Amino acid sequence: MIPDPDRFAGCLVGQALGDALGFVVEGQSPQVCRSYVDLTVRGGRAELARRGTFPFGQYSDDTQLARELLRSYVDRGGFEPGDYALRIALLFAQQRVVGRGKATEDAAKRLAAGVPWTEAGTPAPAAGNGSAMRAGPVGLMFFDDAVALCRAAHDQGRITHADPRCSAGAVAVAGAVALAMQGRPVDPRRFLDYLATWAAARDAGFAADLRRLADWVVLAPEDAVTFISRAGLPPDHRDMWPGISPFVVGSVLWSLYAFLRHPDDYMAAVCTAIAVGGDVDTTAAMTGAIAGARVGLAGIPADLAAHLTDQGDWGRAELVDLARAAWHLKTEGVRP
Ligand SMILES: [Mg+2]
């Protein structure tokens, strides 16, 4: 079945808006993030929120890198990891990245120094969410081919992240976008079973946690977070992050939790992703990509999406055009 082009646009714009909404309170406590969701976002004042010199609507590295992945696909007429690697290196070299992650930045420097993309990834045990946060477009490119989807999610990820958990996280996000686009009623256990089956080839532990999430999805957020924030970590692990940290296992699980709680309500899903606190530009970006792929462009608040920008460039209209070009390439085999 060929998905509606509005689902492609919904995925990219949904990621960008989730990212922009979360970016305002990235790294903040659960209390600050919950208050931001309740008073600012739900209070109809999101457009007044800003972070530093950035006005509301600025999105960050998560969406910049997802956008470049889709641009590479359209420009090259297919997925070419070598071309995408060059674009990652260029974005960093030109200092255009907003809110950079260390593993990605280190890999970008290696790429710029001439290291091949197959060897540039930051080695384990670094396991941040940098390869998963940008994997949504892989679900658009390969929604009809699970083997190719898993391969491409891994390849785009290992350009910057070599830890197998990072590949498993990228597979889960790309797979979730592909499943969400099908438009069928969402059965969380069945949905997660598909993702776990695909992710198991990369990391069995992550796959087991994806299956466990089916039991956590029925819990309220304040209860679910105690399980999800510790998933994949040793029992004595401590870090300074409030809420959900940038660790790939917890942040991907939380993004899926937020979507599966509200699969047909984009803003409810994104607000759930943010209200927990922590690395919420990324959790909301991933949730936004998945929810946007399901509800389509029409299900994303147009008044908020109208503010999307990347430093004065690549706003909503350009993102929609890019997504439509990808849809034409995918479904008709032609570049516009
Ligand atoms: Mg970010």
| Domains present along the chain, CATH in parentheses | 5-46+59-331 (1.10.4080.10)
In the Cβ-directed half-sphere of 167, how many Cα atoms lie within 13 Å? 23
Compute the distance between CA of residue 259 and CA of residue 176 in angstroms, rounded to an integer: 10
Question: What letter does residue 47 receive in the DSSP assignment?
Answer: G
* pLDDT per residue of the chain (336 residues) written in tens, 0 to 9: 788 999 999 999 999 999 999 999 999 999 999 999 999 999 999 999 999 999 999 999 999 999 999 999 999 999 999 999 999 999 999 999 999 899 999 999 999 999 999 999 999 999 999 999 999 999 999 999 999 999 999 999 999 999 999 999 999 999 999 999 998 999 999 999 999 999 999 999 999 999 999 999 999 999 999 999 999 999 889 888 989 999 999 999 999 999 999 999 999 999 999 999 999 999 999 999 999 999 999 999 999 999 999 999 999 999 999 999 999 999 998 776
Q: Read off φ and ψ for residue 313, nearest 5 degrees.
A: -130, 170
Altogether, the residues listed in the chain come to a count of: 336
Ligand 1: centre distance to CA 20 (Å): 9
**Residue range 109-147, pLDDT digits in tens:** 999 999 999 999 999 999 999 999 999 999 999 999 999
Ligand 1: centre distance to CA 111 (Å): 21
Ligand 1: centre distance to CA 88 (Å): 14
Ligand 1: centre distance to CA 289 (Å): 14
**Residue range 156-168, pLDDT digits in tens:** 999 999 999 999 9
Ligand 1: centre distance to CA 252 (Å): 14
Instruction: Judge whether 13 and 299 are in contact, CB under 8 Å.
Output: no
Peptide bond before residue 125 is cis, with ω within 30 degrees of 0: yes
The packing angle between helices 5-23 and 316-332, to 10°, is: 140
Ligand 1: centre distance to CA 23 (Å): 7
Ligand 1: centre distance to CA 6 (Å): 25
Ligand 1: centre distance to CA 333 (Å): 32
Compute the distance between CA of residue 127 and CA of residue 206 in angstroms, rounded to an integer: 12
Compute the distance between CA of residue 75 and CA of residue 73 in angstroms, rounded to an integer: 6
Instruction: Judge whether 159 and 111 are in contact, CB under 8 Å.
Output: yes
Ligand 1: centre distance to CA 98 (Å): 7
Amino acid at 160: T
Query: CB atoms < 10 A from the CB of 306, how many?
Result: 14
Ligand 1: centre distance to CA 331 (Å): 30
Ligand 1: centre distance to CA 334 (Å): 32
Compute the distance between CA of residue 60 and CA of residue 46 in angstroms, rounded to an integer: 17
Compute the distance between CA of residue 40 and CA of residue 322 in angstroms, rounded to an integer: 30
Ligand 1: centre distance to CA 237 (Å): 24
